Amino acid sequence: MKCMVKCLGIESTAHTFGCSVIDFPSNADAVANILSDSRDLYVAPSGTGIHPREASRHHGEVALSVLRTSLGNAGTSIKDIDIIAYSGGPGLGPCLRIGAVVARSMAAYHKKPLLPVNHALGHIELGAALTGASDPVVLLVSGGHTIISVFNRKRWRIFGETLDITLGQLLDQFGRQIGLGSPCGGKIESLAEGSTQNYLQLPYVVKGNDVCFSGLLTSAVRQMMKQKSSIPDLCYSLQETAFAMTIETLERAVSFSTKKEILVVGGVCANKRLCEMIQGVCQRQGVESFLCPHQFAGDNGVQIAWTGLVDYITTPRYVQLGKSFINQSWRVDSIDVNWRISGPLFRLTASAF
């Protein structure tokens, strides 16, 4: 093995096209380094959501510039890259195809190993590496995921998940109804903070350890259309209800699993109110919380590069070009995570960021 292994990661599951380069020194005290993290986001018009065709067109237009910026910031060239990883799913089909085509093209022309990476697994493993969480209950909350998982017998097992729309989709869809552009989570949080904290009754649906948000969304939109409640109070009530549902299932998973750590990843983990409620769980259960750094909480190429790198080093696992794939419904609990059972966990630093 070379003294330094470099991985290029390409992310393109939804609104973000991102590229990142990570290197890994192959020695006993190895700490991987993030050398670059370049992104360009598709921004939907106000009041609309992500249109897969338009987002994929955006990705195709910016792919070359984002790639060049990432390699330039890393001070390397494609010839020095040892493996190319790309987001294989889950995600929006047209967007996933752009990232896969870029990755396949470079892998074929430069004769590099190619590895598809599960997007949800990337969120979890990057968050664990950056925070130092070793054996946590994971809460993944974003526009594409609402999952509670625990690692057991080679895989991240699902303890609870959404049965319809995700927490991020709930916030985005309600935000569009009140005229905001996606992503709407931060704007709804600001409106909620400015409310009178007049809680409005909304459906609270927990089934076993799974949640359903669609009825909550429908009720909030109906109240908004009747104009009987202020928008800030609706945003406050929507957040409180959705977060309480999520926290109930998270706390049940922590209690049942007897784990001593909670790791929160995904774009919604930037919400301050959600973090406050998670701290309440930690106090009641006597566990420690780890929050993915805000810069890396959303979609990014780093999560793909990191997960592809450790997978390749420990397996080594890659695919032939003709067998490379995308899978819009690729579940995280269908993947063997070899690096968590083969020895000490790998370490990652983001000191340059």
Q: Is residue 129 part of a domain?
A: no
Quickly list DSSP for 206-273.
EETTEE--HHHHHHHHHHHHHT-S-HHHHHHHHHHHHHHHHHHHHHHHHHHHT-SEEEEESGGGG-HH
Residue at 295: amino acid letter? Q
The tally of CA atoms less than 13 A away on the side-chain side of residue 112 is: 26
Q: Is residue 268 part of a domain?
A: yes
335 and 192 together in one domain? no
Please give the Cα distance from 242 to 13 (Å, whole number).
24
Bridge partners, 31 (sequence order): 347
302 and 288 together in one domain? no
Q: Quote the number of domains for the chain.
A: 2
CATH number, position 212: 3.30.420.40
Decide: 160 and 210 in contact? Cβ < 8 Å: yes
SS3 content of the chain, % helix, strand, coil (to 5): 45, 20, 30
Please give the Cα distance from 105 to 107 (Å, whole number).
6
161 and 273 together in one domain? yes
286 and 312 together in one domain? no
Decide: 212 and 242 in contact? Cβ < 8 Å: no
Tens of each residue's pLDDT in the chain, 353 residues: 456 799 999 999 999 999 999 998 866 466 889 999 999 999 888 777 789 999 999 999 999 999 999 999 999 999 999 999 999 999 999 999 999 999 999 999 999 999 999 999 999 999 999 999 999 999 999 999 999 999 999 999 999 999 999 999 999 999 999 988 778 899 999 999 999 889 999 999 999 999 999 999 999 999 999 877 799 999 999 999 999 999 999 999 999 999 999 999 999 999 999 999 999 999 999 999 999 999 999 999 999 999 999 999 888 778 888 899 999 999 999 999 988 876 556 778 876 66
